[in-house]
């Protein structure tokens, strides 16, 4: 019984450690635009103790932060921006801070261009993006449409694989991306001049850390007490 209790306490320590690590990652990204917090899912074992079964991600939207920059874009509703990752594949993100890169393509802060590409001619001014994702600019005194932003959606957005920060990749759990224009069907609309903040609740994460630390300490005390009792029993038998 004492040995079983020690193993149960050890599983509780492992679960508490994972919760602390997860909460620390959430807090580290509280200022990361478009970041989605994750939660540790655990279950009680029949033999006692606790087992971490999954890490789930919350896709609730963050708050919209005004910036007055027309190329700062937020999605009001479902969908993800598509960007070309450094590895050549397509990544998906809710972070819509874009700029005109040195090559003329609309790209994010990491230099990852939008997919499909939107090229801005040199000397273009008054760049704007409407709620349907149409990008326009004044080129040589004429207003021209430069391209159309396409969003991607998934059957199970929570199944997307995290790629670090605010980028995600498709997975077998998420299903393949379905692309469409903002405002069409189940896609959200574009809000220009705003960025979506992370959906991390600082107070909630601080409470989670306090609870996890208390659980870790309690399980350490169980192991310590069990070890002392086993030692006492061995001394008696000796």
HEC letters along 29-91: CCCCCCCCCEEEEEEECCCCCEEEEEEEECCCCCCEEECCCCCEEEEECCCEEEEECCCCCEE
Output the average pLDDT for the chain.
Answer: 91
Distance CA 219, CA 50 (A): 11
Which pLDDT score is estimated for 5? Answer: 66
**pLDDT above 90 for 154:** yes
DSSP 8-state class, residue 140: T
Say if residues 136 and 121 touch (Cβ distance below 8 Å).
no
Contacts made by residues 62-66, CB under 8 angstroms, sequence distance 24+: 62/33, 62/34, 62/35, 62/94, 62/196, 62/197, 62/198, 62/199, 63/196, 63/197, 64/191, 64/194, 64/195, 64/196, 64/197, 65/33, 65/194, 65/195, 65/196, 65/197, 66/193, 66/194
Task: Kindly indicate the confidence band of residue 153, based on its pLDDT and cuts at 50, 70 and 90.
Answer: very high
Neighbours of 185 (CB within 10 A): 10
What are the pLDDT digits (tens) for 165-200?
A: 789 999 999 999 999 999 998 999 999 999 999 999
**pLDDT above 90 for 77:** yes
Among 17-26, 96-105, 195-204, 217-226, the minimum mean pLDDT is found in 217-226
- Please report which residue ranges of the chain form alpha helices under DSSP H: 2-28, 202-237
Distance CA 190, CA 153 (A): 14
**pLDDT above 80 for 3:** no
What percent of the chain has pLDDT above 90? Answer: 70
Higher pLDDT, 210 or 49: 210
**pLDDT above 80 for 51:** no
In terms of Cα–Cα distance, which of 103, 231, 87 is closest to 167?
A: 87
Task: Kindly indicate the confidence band of residue 127, based on its pLDDT and cuts at 50, 70 and 90.
Answer: very high
Higher pLDDT, 93 or 47: 93
Which pLDDT score is estimated for 238? Answer: 56
Which pLDDT score is estimated for 224? Answer: 84
Which pLDDT score is estimated for 4? Answer: 67
What are the pLDDT digits (tens) for 5-24?
A: 677 888 888 889 999 999 99
């Amino acid at each position: 019984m004492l040995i079983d209790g020690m193993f149960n306490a050890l599983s509780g320590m492992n679960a508490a450690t994972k919760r602390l690590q997860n909460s620390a990652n959430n807090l580290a990204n509280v200022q990361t635009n478009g970041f989605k917090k994750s939660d540790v899912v655990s279950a009680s074992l029949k033999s006692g103790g606790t087992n971490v079964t999954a890490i789930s991600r919350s896709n609730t939207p963050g708050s919209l932060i005004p910036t007055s920059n027309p190329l700062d874009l937020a999605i009001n509703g479902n969908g993800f921006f598509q960007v070309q990752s450094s590895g050549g594949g397509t990544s998906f993100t809710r972070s819509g801070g874009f700029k005109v890169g040195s090559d003329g393509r609309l790209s994010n802060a990491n230099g990852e261009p939008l997919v499909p590409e939107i090229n801005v001619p040199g000397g273009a001014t008054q760049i704007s993006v409407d709620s349907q994702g149409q990008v326009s600019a004044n080129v040589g005194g004429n207003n021209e449409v430069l391209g159309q932003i396409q969003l991607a959606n998934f059957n199970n957005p929570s199944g997307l694989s995290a790629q670090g920060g605010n980028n995600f990749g498709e997975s077998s759990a998420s299903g393949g991306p379905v692309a469409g224009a903002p405002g069409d069907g189940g896609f959200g609309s574009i809000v220009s001049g705003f960025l979506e903040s992370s959906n991390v609740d600082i107070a909630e994460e601080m409470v989670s850390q306090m609870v996890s630390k208390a659980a870790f300490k309690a399980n350490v005390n169980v192991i310590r007490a069990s070890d002392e009792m086993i030692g006492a029993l061995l001394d008696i038998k000796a």
